[in-house]
Structure 1
């Protein structure tokens, strides 16, 4: 009986741990790289004091450029946590979310070759607190990402949605 109880507790702990890893681990690798790029940029700002975690995708699209080249667009939300920026927790993905701060609305677009982000064209990252996001900003994001793929002679990045 005790062994059965112990097995149940261990299984529950494993499920909790997997859930704490959450949506970020469920993203395809190419999209994880874009989220990580946004998190790195966000953490470089002096005004950001808390650690952020990926919450959910809003929209994403990808086009094949040929020769193992892809153009990716990802619109997603990050949520602040109770951990300080630059946390060295054993697993920063376990930092509890805080509900007293707004979500960060992010859009990234970038080119990958052989599954690595290319430096040219320069990856585009735009994150802003969700309540401050305007329609004009949304339009600017889309235009920038469209231009990135047009300049490379690829079909429009936002034409193919996989989200």
Structure 2
């Protein structure tokens, strides 16, 4: 009996630590990358087929290029995870909603330009989010090409081939 109680305590502690680490993942992002995550979350919130809040889970790839005069280009590939909080419910902060484990992750790629630390509307920020099982190789290629073209058209080096890719 003591062993079962000890094992249960260990599992509960692990779940709490995992949840806290996921909350810290968003808070640990640099502000410029949080802006891209926020764009993706706003897009999901406005989609009629989405019924729950999502939270940032983790980054898969990040890169940025500074092109001078306070202008930067960002690329961020990350996962969002559904929560148990229904869309439309008032929550003080979505980061407090517990994750659900019965739905697939959302795979997102965003790229955008900032000037003086504000997202620019030209070129229009690119946001592509899809359930992970539905993501195809062609979609990955299209994402990469779109983000590279965004930077190439402005005279900036290619974001994804710049060597500044970091986690």
Give the TM-score taking structure 2 as reference length: 0.85
Q: CA deviation at 1:85?
A: 1.1
Q: Distance in 2 between matches of 1:21 and 1:56?
A: 10
Contact 2:36-2:111 within 8 A present in 1 as well: yes
Superposed structure 1 runs of 4+ greater than 6 Å apart? none
List per-residue Cα deviations over 1:80-139 (Å, max 9, x = no partner): 000011331222211000000000000000000111100000000000000000000000
Q: CA deviation at 1:57?
A: 0.2
Contact 2:54-2:94 within 8 A present in 1 as well: no
Contact 1:62-1:162 within 8 A present in 2 as well: no
* 1:98 corresponding residue in structure 2: 100
Q: Distance in 1 between matches of 2:82 and 2:30?
A: 22
Structure 2: runs of 5+ lacking an equivalent: 1-15
1:149 aligns with 2:148: no
SS at match of 2:111: strand
Structure 1: runs of 5+ lacking an equivalent: 1-14
* 1:65 corresponding residue in structure 2: 67
SS at match of 2:157: coil
Give the TM-score taking structure 1 as reference length: 0.87
Alignment coverage as a number of residue pairs: 148
Q: CA deviation at 1:157?
A: 1.1
* 2:37 corresponding residue in structure 1: 35
Q: Distance in 1 between matches of 2:50 and 2:139?
A: 21
1:162 aligns with 2:166: yes
Give the superposed CA RMSD: 1.6
Q: Distance in 1 between matches of 2:93 and 2:34?
A: 16
* 1:78 corresponding residue in structure 2: 80
* 1:25 corresponding residue in structure 2: 27
